Structure 1
Amino acid sequence: MASEEIRKGSWDPSRVLYALGRIGYSAAAAVLDIVDNAISNNATHAAVKFELINLSEGKPGRPRAIVNKILIADNGTGMDSEGLDNALTLGSSPDLYSPKSLSKFGMGLKSASASLGQRLTIVSRSQGSALAAVLDHEQVREKGEFIYLVRKASPDELAILDEVAAGGNGTLVIIDKIHKDSSESPAQIKRELSEQAGVVYYYALSGDASQGIQKVGLTLDGEEVQPRDPLYEAEAEKNGNLDDESEWTGLDVRYLQRRQAFQLDDTGSTFAHVTITQLPHPPSVADANVSSQAEARRKYDIGAGNYGFYVYRNGRLIEWASSLGGKIHQDQDLYAFRGRIEISDDADEVLNINVSKNRIILSDIASEQLNPIISEGVKKSRLAWGAAKRRMQQKLGESPHDDINSELNEIEELGSDSDKLDEEAAPAPERDELRERRERTTKENEASDAERERLKKDGQRVQYVSALDNNQLWQRAHDPDLGIIVRVNSLHRFVRDLIESLPENAALAKIIDVFSLASLEENIHWYIRHSLNNSWPRRS
């Protein structure tokens, strides 16, 4: 052998595809990463649809709906044969990227689809010619080569594409052979998409001419997605700056920092922009009869996991409620703090954008410039929230049950959505039987008008009552539209001994609320499982 030689390395395409699918996408994030391609290719409309099947068909027990196929169609520029080859290349060429593209590494379509299922079909029409390319992971494993099939698009595929493209240019992405064991529930995926898409594509859905972004319409299973600004800047623009934290009423959105440029590198050639707002204080909103606490929390997404910085790259959200490396601490008094950082693709290298484009690492210069802005915003936000909270505590006495009820409400609504999708996926006779059982269960412990009103107005999923029959700890109430309500007996010894002996222990009160709902849910699911198996045992 010569003293040195160049050797060609080898790779296992199947293993690479498997690894790409494990980058760390949630199902919703993967779907939105594919929608990015539609926006980058000048689509004015994109549609996401889910095809569900019943995984439990022919088996005992309740039905279980799972995703069988995901379809994403758009009326963008479409692709010819060369474009399809580039789309399926691992690390596709950036030469075809448009200015301000949402793409970066040329891996998004392959990695996002691989995280969802084992077969990716791309149907695309450009200048009247319609082709389909199919990347099947099973075939790649069998052949040991990175191969895909290119063929004419089928009439059925074109019919789906034309629901959006109407005979013109466009692309349809189909993902099937879904990962059934690791896939999230359809209800969870749809809930995350409906909550996130309006924020992720806020600028595209609004059509922000100032950023050169074309307006796009997006539907999820036929429902139009509305743009949602996480900072509610339109309201802040109307209400002005938060100048005096102690005088803030807690009823409106205010600016903590109006949009300001800051430097990202030492050359002074790369900049970003930062904006910070303060959202309303829900108990103050309820006290002023503007809306209920639950409605205010829902409208402004006030709660754990939603406060911090929203980072937008080329007008597309890439980080949701980021702490920016610990600059925003976990603190309930910061629930109303909302920041936005806007960057363009020329900042990618400076900010070390990762492969899935969902995280930035601030440069030293950026941190130095942002630190005083963030510190001042955090201080003002905490002081304003604290002042509003103290006023309400003095006037009304806030309860730790308020916060946890908001979280339990979301959990119960998600469970209800999941049950409905399971029912829809069941065969007709079983579907009818499930609905009859649900109606019977509802009538057995029907919620009162007062209980319904407390749930609708204040979000009280767990409601404390003065007594229950036979001194039960908890009891189920049900409404066909609102779902389950839990009645907790405040005179039960378990509640009295724990809550009344430790009145300041907010965490303990929340634990009891969670325990009550969880126990009730488990009891209902036990009943349904056994009744569907026709065993009908009574539980002691």
Structure 2
Amino acid sequence: MSAEYDIANPGAGELFESLRAFGYDLPTALADIVDNSISAKARNIWIDMFWAGRESRITIRDDGEGMGEDELRQAMRPGSLSPLESRAASDLGRFGLGMKTASISQCRCLTVMSKTVGSPLAVRRWDLDYIASVGNGEWRLLKGDGLLRDEERSLLAEQKQGTVLFWDRLDQLVGDVSSDDEVAQKHFRERADAVKQHLAMVFHRFLRGRGAITLHLNGRPIEPWDPFLEDSDKVDPMAAESHVVDGQSAEIKAFILPHHSRISAEVHAAAAGPKGWNAHQGFYIYRNKRLLVAGDWLGLGMQKEEHFKLARIRIDLPNSADLLWQIDVKKSRARPPAALRKDLQRIARTARSRASSIYRHRGKVIQRQLGSSDVFLWSHLTKRGKNFYKINRDHPLVRKVLETAGDKAPVRALLNLVEQTIPAPLIVINNAETPDALGQPFEDSPAELLKAMEEVFSALIEDGREKAEAARALVMMEPFNQFPELVASFLEKAGRMKTD
């Protein structure tokens, strides 16, 4: 009796080429490799990107537990572990595909060298071009330390244990170019910067605190990027909530970040993140402290808008919640279960409301403290249901210009002309299309900033203010309140000039 089934093994070359299309880019691919190193209890991970045109290479080395011959052979098998199998609580993997699919998405030749405390070097290689040349569909996993040169094997010589991945033939990143191709080299360096920013964000909770690991990129440690500014006392955290759905817990905590006037320009710029303030509002989903989703409203019917950009909400999940949250192979997407959507919407609306209140009314708080004539150059008026913007005639510098002008008519006409020709529609369109591309006051002209500061301070003094009172007004006045260190330096210098 003939068998009632066929053996339908997939062809190695065809399946590998298909697996390359999972949608990894270089930063997400390297993050997947770092996951493996952390799961192997590495304390240090070194990523090096070597430019040499078509011969460029990326290596990833760690000091984790390493693998012997049998472990490495199993780890190199696509689908080396079922996603349904139970895993250690600290395991960052799931599908048994990460190391292979992430690697071959970027290179056509993956070589892995590893050793444990009790075993010698083990080496395995997937070479897509070799497999294609054989042409019989066999899954030929090359082996033997002869695959590597002496200097390559020496990378683990001073370590008791650890693993090194070699990515060669970087067709996605480099292609077939010569080493003197300046455009390709510039792109290579730009992608290295993108890798640094991505890893700093994804692993920021591993890069600090007790038991922190160290990530090195091209010989330099990567500094963590904390989206919640938890070290700052200016952040307004909401109470944490714990929710359980189908036996899986989710810890949720919202953070309302401070208005830019309450933190330094450097802290504000860093907190914007790799993609800017607007892009990084929303939910941040973590699995075992590893960031999966960085700023998204998760299809809850909410849009990213300028006045909600201070709201960031953290969700912590265990790795047993992968199926419930539909976490994908790349660990870059997650979807909340239906039973949790109403709670997430409630938390998001509260956080967005508080963020919007800070964004819209921070200026009004300052205005009430000091009086509108001391703070804003522009005044907002509403007439017949329409918005208008007027230059504040009580601003000390405007008043000084008007008072010192021999013929005030041309100056008043100029102010009126400026007010009536504000390109409001163009500003609205540009801000909607590229909200984080708006230039900051005096961004490229610190000398002009200091000159404006000097003129305003002088106008305040001439207006009859005491020096201390004028200094307080200057510190809180727009846009000088965004440059507290420069204001302090200027006032210190102004005080010395008065006593000299």
What's the TM-score once normalised by structure 2's chain length?
Answer: 0.68
The verdict on how the C-alpha distance between 1:180 and 1:203 changes in structure 2, with shifts beyond 3 A counting, is closer
Q: 1:76–1:171: 8 Å Cα contact kept in structure 2?
A: yes
Measured after TM superposition, the shift of residue 90 of structure 1 is 0.8
Tell me, in whole angstroms, the C-alpha distance in 1 between the residues paired with 2:154 and 2:86: 28
One-letter identity of the residue aligned with 2:269: R
Tell me, in whole angstroms, the C-alpha distance in 2 between the residues paired with 1:142 and 1:304: 49
1:221 to 184, 207, 218: 218
* Counterpart residue number, 1:149: 142
2:197 to 182, 195, 198: 195
The question of 1:174 aligning with 2:166 is answered: yes
Tell me, in whole angstroms, the C-alpha distance in 1 between the residues paired with 2:153 and 2:86: 25
SS at match of 1:77: coil
The verdict on how the C-alpha distance between 1:75 and 1:260 changes in structure 2, with shifts beyond 3 A counting, is same
Q: 1:328–1:378: 8 Å Cα contact kept in structure 2?
A: no
SS at match of 2:5: coil
1:89 to 74, 77, 84: 77
One-letter identity of the residue aligned with 2:295: A
Tell me, in whole angstroms, the C-alpha distance in 2 between the residues paired with 1:327 and 1:160: 51
SS at match of 1:340: strand
Tell me, in whole angstroms, the C-alpha distance in 2 between the residues paired with 1:389 and 1:7: 73
Percentage identity across paired residues of the two chains: 23
* Counterpart residue number, 1:134: 125
The verdict on how the C-alpha distance between 1:367 and 1:39 changes in structure 2, with shifts beyond 3 A counting, is same
Instruction: Map 1:19-418 to 2 at 5 A.
Output: 19-54=18-53, 68-93=56-81, 98-126=88-116, 127-143=118-134, 144-152=137-145, 154-162=149-157, 166-180=158-172, 185-207=187-209, 214-235=211-232, 239=233, 252-255=234-237, 257-265=238-246, 269-282=247-260, 284-285=261-262, 291-292=264-265, 296-301=268-273, 303-388=277-362, 395-396=375-376
The verdict on how the C-alpha distance between 1:17 and 1:384 changes in structure 2, with shifts beyond 3 A counting, is same
Q: 1:262–1:370: 8 Å Cα contact kept in structure 2?
A: no
Q: 1:68–1:176: 8 Å Cα contact kept in structure 2?
A: yes
SS at match of 2:284: strand
Measured after TM superposition, the shift of residue 323 of structure 1 is 1.8
One-letter identity of the residue aligned with 1:129: P
Tell me, in whole angstroms, the C-alpha distance in 2 between the residues paired with 1:145 and 1:321: 43
One-letter identity of the residue aligned with 2:20: G
What's the TM-score once normalised by structure 1's chain length?
Answer: 0.63
The verdict on how the C-alpha distance between 1:514 and 1:312 changes in structure 2, with shifts beyond 3 A counting, is closer
The verdict on how the C-alpha distance between 1:372 and 1:118 changes in structure 2, with shifts beyond 3 A counting, is same
Measured after TM superposition, the shift of residue 145 of structure 1 is 1.8
Deviations 1:138-176 (CA, angstroms, capped at 9, x unpaired): 1121222221111026421232234xxx33100000101
Deviations 1:282-320 (CA, angstroms, capped at 9, x unpaired): 2x24xxxx533x652234535232111111101111111
Which runs of 5 or more structure 1 residues have no equivalent in the other structure? Answer: 56-66, 209-213, 240-251, 399-495, 517-540
Aligned residues: 374
Q: 1:264–1:347: 8 Å Cα contact kept in structure 2?
A: no
Tell me, in whole angstroms, the C-alpha distance in 1 between the residues paired with 2:171 and 2:41: 31
* Counterpart residue number, 1:471: none
Measured after TM superposition, the shift of residue 227 of structure 1 is 2.8
Tell me, in whole angstroms, the C-alpha distance in 2 between the residues paired with 1:5 and 1:179: 43
The verdict on how the C-alpha distance between 1:369 and 1:131 changes in structure 2, with shifts beyond 3 A counting, is same
SS at match of 2:144: strand
* Counterpart residue number, 1:506: 427
One-letter identity of the residue aligned with 2:144: R
